[in-house]
Structure 1
Amino acid sequence: MVKDSEGQLIIEGEALLLTTTGTLIKTVLIEKGVFLFKEIAPDNYTLQLSATGYETEFREVKPDVDISISVVLITKAIVLDEVAINSENKMFTNHNGNIKVDVANSIFKASPSPLDLMAKLPSVIVSADKESLSIIGRGDPLIYIDNQKVGMNDLNALSVEDIKTIEIIKNPSAKYEAEGRAVVFITRKRSRRDGFEISGLETASFKRGYNNYTGVNTGFKKGKTEFKANFNYNKLYHWEANGNNVTISDARVATNYKIRSISDRAQYIFGGGIFHQFNDDDYISANVNAKLQGDDDRNHTQTYILQNNTADNITTLSRNDNQRNFVNSFINYNKKIKSLDAKLFTGLQYSNFYQTSYSDVQNNYNDTQFVAAQHRNQKFTVNAFTGRADAEKVFKNDIKLEVGALYLSATAKTNFAVDDYVTPAQMQSLYDFREQNAAGYTQLSGKVKKLSYSGGLRVETTDIEGKYNNTSTLTIDKHYTNIFPKAQLDYAIDSTMSVSLNYAKSIARPNYSSTSQVTVYGSPFMVFASNLNLNPTITDEVSAGFQYKEMSATMRYYTTKDPSYATFTYDTAQTLISLNTINYAKESGFTFETVIPFSYKLWTVNNVLSMVLNKIEDPSALLSTSKPYLYYYSNNTFKLPKAYTAMLSVWGTTKRNEGIFTRNAFFIMDVGFTKTFFKSLDCTLSFNDVFRNMNFNEDFAINNISSRGRYYTDTREIALSLKYKFGNFKGKEERRVNENEGRIR
């Protein structure tokens, strides 16, 4: 029972069950002095009890059997006629190198888009084209939203206002998909009480051009049913550029180009969902979200090419009308089977991606006149359906058994048509791709005294076929079965220290966009293309970690087969250079990472330092000496007078020599200030990439082609964000376990 100092029951509060190292296990509500934790394994725990107007109380508990406790909460002191209640939430928490970020209660909530938010998080790097994420030393992560596995399009369709926390998991267990060596786990906000809440958001962003983000989020809860909806309209000025010096020694070709792309981009992002809780264990939920994006794109390319001692200077202008639409829908059902004391989860998901591109291209050779070169009409569609079922049971000896199965069916179609005015000729190509994936897994976990263990095995069977419509012969015909084991041991030395060992085998599959024939015309001699025949990447990894309070150190060693990276290829018949992605022979590396949080009075800092030695190899490539490089990240938050909050974040890497590739060093600084006015108006002023250093250099040589590439982004920004809330809506948190596939781009 939870009472106040006068013996009255606490009407409403919150009870948190924590490990002795401070990791949150479960949260329940205190209602009329009573709270209950179910199915808790015997161990030493810390119980944290809090209620509005009372001091937070901590108790050490060890529930070997069912226990009842009585707690008295002390009333907070009241000063004059004003009561100020402040809940200090940690922006970052760390457990064995897995970092959890509190977005909802930090300056991060003012980020205009999910990708802008991701770019500010430790160990996360957003690619120059903003089409992918990577984790330092880990590669591309899996992305989960409320235990549902999603892709980049789902992430882009999410409203930042809807995000509660983001966790970067460096050692994902077997319950996650085998695809990926790290997980970005996003938890959305959910209501606690009946009522409604509406929030309006407006962000004015100044980069090379003006960008405006407008959004509305609504929520309504009545009884056991909750409705949520969001709508965002973004009017953006998109700028990007890249250049390259390419030499093809055996063809006596040398070229350099500089391409700049400017787009007027309109985005409509909207979504809605319903959640109904039948009882404490059973629920059903359904959600639909979408992102519609239109681009009026102007590309300008300057190309110099020398072949067979003949030089040309070419200016290429292309006008592109692009449309990219994405819709995702899913329904989940969770049921507790009381007769077996087990939980069953089922989920269905359907996703559709549709892209069209209409382009008109003209060239000017050697400052003469512009001549029409091509008209391009390209369409690309992906449809994906996923169904899954998962079951788990906890036995009396605290051993948990989890089993599950998944089925995925995806199709992709490309319609590629070109009118070439120079030849003249017309070309049309239709390409169909089909993939089916069936998977099953089992995982066993438990604890013996101070030793916690988990082990799992996942088996996946994949069938892939691809063909052009004008032939009966399959271009791609792949069928393979893979087994992915995972194991983890954790030993608690005492209440503040622990060590861990991990082994995992994982896979990284090509995104469905790689099956597209859609190409971007750079110049008469160069295109940006996809590779229809990419193989999946397989990685084996072992790691060891040490945790002391909030600090951790982790060592990892990994080997990878068929890693995929960009390269240039040359078609001698067409005199055409293509930039696409291929599989290299192998990759191996070692990482050592430390996470060191620190607080002093009004200053809170979270530091991440990684040393990485990575080597990418291929028999056809020129291999240089691999050297260790450093990744550093430091986020500093300052509580200033008059309830202002300031944030200074710096991160970057030293120069990276990774065998085949040599990449540049860079240093990034972000600054922000935030304050809440009138209790409902949040104002945030941000200065991002202050020194405009978010530019990437990449040099390599393969198949007698050497490249020195430069990629420029538009991330230096001054932004003012305003968010106003009204209504009374806070949500009751629920558990969702869907892990649907998502590789649609």
Structure 2
Amino acid sequence: MKTTYYLIFLSLLLGSQQLYAQVKVLTITGTVKESANKTSIPYATVMLRDKADDQMIDGTTTDDDGYFELHSDHRDFYIELSFMGYLSKKITDFEEDGAVLNLGDIFIEEDSQTLDEVVIQGERSRTEFQLDKRVFNLGQDISSTGASALDILNNIPSVSVNIEGQISLRGSQGVRILINGKPSVLASEQGNMMGTITADMIERIEVITNPSAKYEAEGTSGIINIILKKEGEKNLNGSITLNTGIPNNHSLGLSLNKRTDKLNLFAQLGVGYRTFPHHNKTRSKDIANNSELHTLSDRDFNEEFYNLILGTDYRINKSTVISLSGQFAYEKETTDSNNDYTLKNLEGSVTDVWSRNEDSYADNPKWQGEFQVKKDFDESGDHSLLASATGAFFRKDQVSDFQNITQIGNRPDALQKLNTDYKEGIYTFKLDYTRPFSSYYEWETGTQYVINGVSNDFAVLDQHEDEWIPDPNFTNVFVFDQNVLGLYSTLSREKDKWGAKLGLRFEYTALDTRLEETQESNRQRYGDFFPTVHTSYKFSDKYSLQAGYSARIFRPGLWELNPFFALQDNFNIYTGNPNLVPEYTDSYEVTSIYHLDKVSFNIGVYQRITTNVIEEVLTVEDNISIRKPDNVGRSRTTGLEFNSKYTPWDWATIDIDLNYNAFSRKGTYNQETFGFSGDRWTSRAMGKVKLPANFDFEAAWTYESAYETLQLDILDNYFLDLGLRKKLLKGKAVANLSVRDVFATRRFRAVSSREDFEFNRLGMAGRFITLGISYGIGKGDAMEFSGQKRF
């Protein structure tokens, strides 16, 4: 029987070969290119159609070099080529040459109308929901163009940034900032991330309010992961950008990307100069000493910066890619500030008037290097192994000169000098393994080790008889060493309507701080387990529900632990506390997501329970206000969040974000009970309108309600941002004008009133105006740093 089957199969095979040999098959080849710059177009659609009934005979898409190949035994056909943003082309006249029809180079032209429509569709930023995070895909929104990463974060639902650059998520600070899923010196307080990472470099931002065990447990409010652009075009691409603004915001950026089948080379160069003004008014009343101090402060922080990024990705084979990149940045900072003081008695009589002027400068070199290997075990890349090592170093060498001048009173004129030699190194080693067991189940596991070392050599010197004498109360070397080892594993199931993800992470922390001169030290060793649970259910294409729980930790960093004083204004001082212990938070949330025809919105409820709460404590003595962080107890925050996007017409979009939370705090400080409760809410409305002649306009209004902290009442805050953009040269060039805080109303106002003292502070930065223009090189897009693109 088997022999019979073999004979039948052999007969069919020979018969088919003979039949095929009797029919002459024609091979059609060609290369599709742009008519403007003669570059190849990959992934263009090529079809053979029957001339009689237009039915498709064969079809394909061009490869990375624009080349295609088709086969047909039919002769009465025509060829049709199409690609998004280009005019379709038909070829009906051609001559056969034997069994091959070589069409050579075929040029197609851009469709300016269609191209504009495509660009407009791609401009809108949008939010999508995944199992354990919210993903904000960055479009070319007006406020995004030429803006800093801080500006972008301030436009994301649930995220807010105050005028001092502090980031909050749902009204709470302690957010963990990652770059491409890894900690970075650019994301640290000392790294000035918001200056070196601009909106043009960002592809998307992931807001993870309840992180899974895959991520570090650091951050009580959650994690914000900034993902830089990864897609690339072949050949040489890039962009050049030029910005200017008031106050000083002048910069020039050049990005280039050269990509082949196996190699991707990218480079980025940026230079610039900018000024950050800040104005403060402070009034402190010391009732016991019958005095009231008024302080008026004007401070200009000026920065000259240079930034160079070089890197390469090399594809060893279809499954393995090696990435190597490095960044060097150099900043020169100068600060000019003037503080005017007026001291009165409580009857209103002036007793003293003096001023304190600051002139400081600093050199800040920093570098970062990364080596990464990714191995894919299947074509989709879902089964993969990723190993990476990142090293970053930052240094600040600063000298500040202070001069005290007395106009009224008996205070002696004085000269003071502050020297700072700050060094920080961060090294991160990660190994992540992802393995799908089927189309529904996925397992993730991995480990991470982070080494963070800081040395801060801080000296305050007073001039006595033309000699600089160190002040022993303010001169020391603070050393901070923290190592964290993490291990994690997660298991997820996602099928049809329902998905769930379970995870467990263990982290062991070794922290040592010490003051070299006084031999004071603090040693902490602790290990913690952090479980996570996430689930989602899709009721329909228009409605789904998410829920999650995670355990979090907030480890005090250098800013909170460093005991040195900031002496720009020696009557309004901040100092750290090396005895702080970590905060621990249990975070719960449920979010419902709706998608209708012209509107989408989500409503969520959440609760956070935090122990060892870290909060600033204010003390006033002899009119000197000192703010210092301390562990003050336990808090419970329950909130409601609403985000919506409404598109009534194709040319208009309205975004509304509301967040309300009620909180209660129980704690003690210096044997005094600090229990209180309150609420807080924030709202933002943003409108975007497309105008004739390729103009776009945007307006964003933000309101933040008053709220209460341990000792302070923070007053409400509101501000308006405007933007106008014009596309030029079919979108290859973009001109942008933005005005932030149009009416200069964005202010920080804090008030404290107790039996023995009163405190009032007002801070503001003022209005910022920026004008920018960008031009795309090759296939690079305007306002896009394509040098950050990867495989």
With normalisation by structure 1, the TM-score equals 0.82
2:152 partner SS: helix
Quick one: structure 1 residues 404 and 362, their matched pair in 2 at CA, closer, same or farther if it must change by over 3 Å? same
Choose 116-125 or 292-301, whichever is displaced more. 116-125
Structure 2 residue 412 is matched with structure 1 residue 384 = no
CA distance in 1, matches of 2:633, 2:779: 57
Contact 1:555 1:591 in 2 (8 A): yes
- Name which of 170, 174, 179 aligns with 1:145: 179
1:173 partner SS: coil
- Name which of 740, 749, 774 aligns with 1:688: 740
Structure 2 residue 543 is matched with structure 1 residue 508 = no
Mapping of 1:52-451 within 5 angstroms?
52=85, 84=115, 86-87=117-118, 88-89=121-122, 90-95=124-129, 100-130=135-165, 132-150=166-184, 151-152=187-188, 153=191, 154-180=193-219, 181-206=221-246, 209-247=247-285, 254-305=292-343, 311-336=351-376, 342-367=383-408, 371-396=413-438, 398-421=440-463, 425-427=469-471, 428-447=475-494, 450-451=497-498
Contact 1:53 1:85 in 2 (8 A): no
Corresponding position of 2:611: 561
AA of the residue aligned to 1:552: N
2:744 partner SS: coil
Structure 2 residue 515 is matched with structure 1 residue 468 = yes
Quick one: structure 1 residues 523 and 631, their matched pair in 2 at CA, closer, same or farther if it must change by over 3 Å? closer
Instruction: Give 1:11 deviation, angstroms.
Output: 1.6
Aligned residues: 680
Corresponding position of 2:626: 578
Corresponding position of 1:24: none
- Name which of 681, 699, 702 aligns with 1:648: 699
2:532 partner SS: strand
Alpha-carbon displacement from aligned partner over 1:359-400 (angstroms, at most 9, x marks no partner): 222212343797233122121111121111111211137321
Q: RMSD over aligned Cα, in angstroms?
A: 3.7
Instruction: Give 1:358 deviation, angstroms.
Output: 1.0
Alpha-carbon displacement from aligned partner over 1:217-267 (angstroms, at most 9, x marks no partner): 121112221122222222122211223333456677653423221233212
Corresponding position of 2:99: none
Corresponding position of 1:668: 719
AA of the residue aligned to 1:171: N
Quick one: structure 1 residues 174 and 732, their matched pair in 2 at CA, closer, same or farther if it must change by over 3 Å? farther
Alpha-carbon displacement from aligned partner over 1:666-725 (angstroms, at most 9, x marks no partner): 2221111112111321111112211111101123468966532222123x1222110012
Contact 1:622 1:700 in 2 (8 A): no
CA distance in 2, matches of 1:560, 1:528: 24
AA of the residue aligned to 1:86: E
CA distance in 2, matches of 1:98, 1:421: 56
Contact 1:190 1:732 in 2 (8 A): no
Choose 249-258 or 183-192, whichever is displaced more. 249-258
CA distance in 1, matches of 2:547, 2:134: 18
CA distance in 1, matches of 2:764, 2:485: 41
AA of the residue aligned to 1:121: I
1:613 partner SS: strand
Quick one: structure 1 residues 629 and 344, their matched pair in 2 at CA, closer, same or farther if it must change by over 3 Å? same
Corresponding position of 2:79: none
Contact 2:256 2:787 in 1 (8 A): no
Mapping of 1:517-596 within 5 angstroms?
519-523=565-569, 525-549=571-595, 550-569=600-619, 577-596=625-644
1:547 partner SS: strand
Contact 2:609 2:637 in 1 (8 A): yes
Corresponding position of 1:74: none
Higher-Rg structure is: 2
CA distance in 2, matches of 1:376, 1:732: 40
Corresponding position of 1:483: 529
Instruction: Give 1:138 deviation, angstroms.
Output: 4.4
Alpha-carbon displacement from aligned partner over 1:26-70 (angstroms, at most 9, x marks no partner): xxx999699xxxxxxxxxxxxxx9855599xxxxxxxxxxxxxxx
Quick one: structure 1 residues 419 and 30, their matched pair in 2 at CA, closer, same or farther if it must change by over 3 Å? same
Instruction: Give 1:557 deviation, angstroms.
Output: 1.0
Contact 2:660 2:682 in 1 (8 A): yes
CA distance in 1, matches of 2:778, 2:401: 50
1:128 partner SS: coil
2:323 partner SS: strand
Quick one: structure 1 residues 85 and 660, their matched pair in 2 at CA, closer, same or farther if it must change by over 3 Å? same
Contact 2:267 2:787 in 1 (8 A): no
2:151 partner SS: helix
Contact 2:245 2:768 in 1 (8 A): yes
Instruction: Give 1:281 deviation, angstroms.
Output: 3.6
Alpha-carbon displacement from aligned partner over 1:312-347 (angstroms, at most 9, x marks no partner): 333111211223333222111111357999421111
Instruction: Give 1:125 deviation, angstroms.
Output: 2.3
Contact 1:193 1:732 in 2 (8 A): no
Quick one: structure 1 residues 308 and 274, their matched pair in 2 at CA, closer, same or farther if it must change by over 3 Å? same
AA of the residue aligned to 1:123: S
1:161 partner SS: helix
Contact 1:161 1:217 in 2 (8 A): no
Alpha-carbon displacement from aligned partner over 1:86-135 (angstroms, at most 9, x marks no partner): 221342224389654443533244234322333343333223332x3222
CA distance in 2, matches of 1:592, 1:320: 45
Instruction: Give 1:592 deviation, angstroms.
Output: 0.5
CA distance in 2, matches of 1:135, 1:454: 23
Quick one: structure 1 residues 694 and 80, their matched pair in 2 at CA, closer, same or farther if it must change by over 3 Å? closer
Structure 2 residue 646 is matched with structure 1 residue 598 = yes
Unaligned runs of 5+ in 2: 1-42, 50-55, 71-81, 89-108
Quick one: structure 1 residues 142 and 735, their matched pair in 2 at CA, closer, same or farther if it must change by over 3 Å? farther
Contact 1:405 1:438 in 2 (8 A): yes
Choose 375-384 or 301-310, whichever is displaced more. 301-310
AA of the residue aligned to 2:579: N
Structure 2 residue 544 is matched with structure 1 residue 498 = yes
AA of the residue aligned to 2:744: R
Contact 1:111 1:117 in 2 (8 A): no
Contact 1:695 1:713 in 2 (8 A): yes
CA distance in 2, matches of 1:375, 1:703: 36
Quick one: structure 1 residues 477 and 53, their matched pair in 2 at CA, closer, same or farther if it must change by over 3 Å? same
AA of the residue aligned to 1:241: H
1:506 partner SS: strand
1:117 partner SS: helix
CA distance in 2, matches of 1:93, 1:31: 36
With normalisation by structure 2, the TM-score equals 0.78
Quick one: structure 1 residues 314 and 565, their matched pair in 2 at CA, closer, same or farther if it must change by over 3 Å? farther
CA distance in 2, matches of 1:307, 1:407: 57
Alpha-carbon displacement from aligned partner over 1:474-496 (angstroms, at most 9, x marks no partner): 52111111211110111222232
CA distance in 2, matches of 1:629, 1:459: 34
Alpha-carbon displacement from aligned partner over 1:137-195 (angstroms, at most 9, x marks no partner): 34333223333333242453224322222333333322222112333232322344321
